[in-house]
């Protein structure tokens, strides 16, 4: 559990976060609406984008526990991480090849990219217990998210410059710049997976036999029953399922919402950059809050901030307010994610971290099924994008209420 292994583990977040920033939150929603699906209406493209996100999330709901259980068998966390990372990087790079109007193909590649991204997160999260001792979980988890914000933000900044000034980079137009950006994300993702592959080693190995799939399936059933017996773990998972829905929905639908209420795409991309670079120090700060005051308290602070953010977004009128929201989101997004991970790591058995984090990620991705569909559905039914974003409020409030009932880790059954 040395410094090199922790940094190598965190560098994977540096690499794969480029997909979350440049692709998911940044260019894909804009390029999908204005290039691949330009023949669709604004509400229809919002619906299909939400559906694509949701289908990918449904598949992760079905398979995340199995991925985690298989990764636990014979210490396969790194192998599964690299398998899904390769899938995601390949699909992202392939977006470069898709021509205008081919929105179903672009959406399919995007969904496969999400599966690669999300599938790799299951073993990546589980490796936290292999690179950090319990007293360091909050800070190391925060380090991963902080690296993700900085690494993803740096590449995103370069990509935004390419789009805004394509002639300076020898490119024909902004469209070509976006397509090249997808290729760069795939290469970036792959390159920063290498340190983890070389320098991170599993500290809680488990024996495996030839019946690895059967054992994994049996373990899923046994551990799901066990999760139900741990009241604190079950309550936390319910709270996480609710509030992370709102977090993921805001990440995936913010740019689409901004476009729907009349803001320029270049301004929205600038706002996303602000979120990234504010998120770097903010994630580290939340790591210190978690270490000093407990991760639960830090999560509740972030949830109160998100409730205010949703109300603000509902009433937002000008672009400067979107910039203000970008700062506010950057201050809490990485914190709520990193402290959720470190709190959960305290509640579960280290030698079964893969499977338990499979359940954790399954709930996170199942929440992401509801959120985008909720926003898209309310928007279509009401014809008002503002009511669509306001609907996310219920998820943060419900998550806050349930989290209040979660006992501190020292009081759990574990």
The radius of gyration of the chain from alpha carbons, rounded to an integer in Å, stands at 20
Average pLDDT over residues 364-387: 74
Point out the least confidently predicted range of 17-31, 80-94, 109-123, 259-273: 259-273
Residues with Cβ within 8 Å of 361's Cβ and at least 6 positions away in sequence, in order, are: 60, 64, 68, 118, 121, 122, 125
Average pLDDT over residues 299-303: 93
Beta carbons of 339 and 365 less than 8 angstroms apart = no
The residue with greater pLDDT, 58 or 220, is 58
Q: What is the pLDDT of residue 195?
A: 94
Q: What is the pLDDT of residue 210?
A: 55
* pLDDT confidence bin for 213, thresholds 50/70/90: low
Q: Residue 191 above 90 pLDDT?
A: yes
Q: What is the pLDDT of residue 204?
A: 60
Q: What is the pLDDT of residue 196?
A: 94
Point out the least confidently predicted range of 99-103, 111-115, 402-406: 99-103
What is the per-residue pLDDT across 124-144, written as a single tens digit (0 to 9) for each? Answer: 988 988 888 888 888 899 999
* pLDDT confidence bin for 414, thresholds 50/70/90: very low
Average pLDDT over residues 198-222: 67
Average pLDDT over residues 88-94: 96
The residue with greater pLDDT, 410 or 203, is 203
What is the per-residue pLDDT across 238-275, written as a single tens digit (0 to 9) for each? Answer: 899 889 888 888 876 666 667 777 777 677 777 777 88
DSSP string, 307-335: HHHHHHHHH--SHHHHHHHHHHHHHHHHH
Q: Which CATH architecture has domain 3-201+210-411?
A: Up-down Bundle (1.20)
Q: How many residues does the chain have?
A: 414
Q: How far apart are CA 386 and CA 293, in angstroms?
A: 36
Q: What is the pLDDT of residue 310?
A: 87
- CA distances to 25, 71, 172, 277 from 148, rounded to whole Å, are 14, 23, 30, 10
């Amino acid at each position: 559990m040395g410094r090199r292994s922790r940094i190598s583990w965190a560098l994977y977040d540096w690499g794969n976060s480029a997909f979350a920033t440049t692709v998911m939150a940044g260019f894909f929603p804009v390029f999908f609406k204005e290039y691949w699906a330009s023949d669709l209406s604004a509400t229809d493209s919002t619906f299909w984008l939400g559906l694509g996100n949701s289908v990918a999330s449904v598949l992760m709901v079905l398979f995340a526990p199995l991925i985690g259980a298989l990764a636990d068998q014979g210490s396969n966390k790194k192998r599964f991480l690299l398998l899904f990372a390769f899938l995601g990087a390949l699909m992202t790079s392939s977006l470069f090849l898709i021509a205008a109007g081919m929105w179903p193909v672009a959406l399919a590649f995007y969904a496969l990219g999400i599966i690669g991204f999300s599938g790799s997160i299951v073993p990546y999260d589980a490796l936290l217990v292999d690179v950090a001792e319990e007293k360091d979980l909050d800070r190391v988890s925060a380090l991963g998210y902080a690296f993700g914000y900085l690494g993803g933000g740096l590449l995103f900044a370069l990509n935004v410059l390419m789009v805004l000034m394509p002639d300076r980079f020898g490119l024909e137009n902004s469209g070509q710049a976006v397509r090249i950006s997808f290729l760069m994300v795939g290469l970036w993702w792959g390159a920063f997976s290498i340190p983890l592959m070389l320098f991170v080693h599993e500290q809680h190995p488990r024996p495996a036999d030839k019946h690895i799939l059967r054992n994994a399936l049996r373990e899923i059933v046994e551990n799901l029953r066990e999760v139900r017996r741990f009241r604190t773990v079950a309550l936390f998972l319910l709270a996480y399922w609710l509030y992370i829905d709102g977090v993921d929905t805001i990440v995936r639908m913010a740019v689409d919402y901004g476009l729907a209420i009349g803001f320029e795409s270049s301004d929205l991309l600038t706002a996303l950059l602000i979120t990234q670079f504010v998120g770097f120090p903010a994630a580290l700060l939340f790591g210190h809050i978690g270490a000093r005051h407990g991760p639960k308290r830090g999560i509740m602070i972030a949830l109160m901030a998100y409730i205010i953010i949703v109300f603000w977004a509902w009433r937002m009128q000008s672009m400067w307010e979107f910039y203000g929201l970008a700062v506010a989101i950057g201050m809490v997004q990485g914190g709520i994610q990193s402290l959720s991970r470190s709190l959960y790591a305290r509640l579960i058995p280290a030698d079964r971290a893969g499977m338990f984090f499979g359940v954790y990620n399954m709930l996170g991705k199942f929440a992401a099924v509801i959120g985008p569909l909720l926003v898209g559905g309310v928007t279509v039914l009401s014809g008002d994008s503002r009511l669509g974003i306001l609907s996310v409020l219920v998820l943060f409030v419900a998550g806050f209420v349930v989290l209040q009932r979660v006992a501190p880790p020292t009081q759990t059954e574990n």
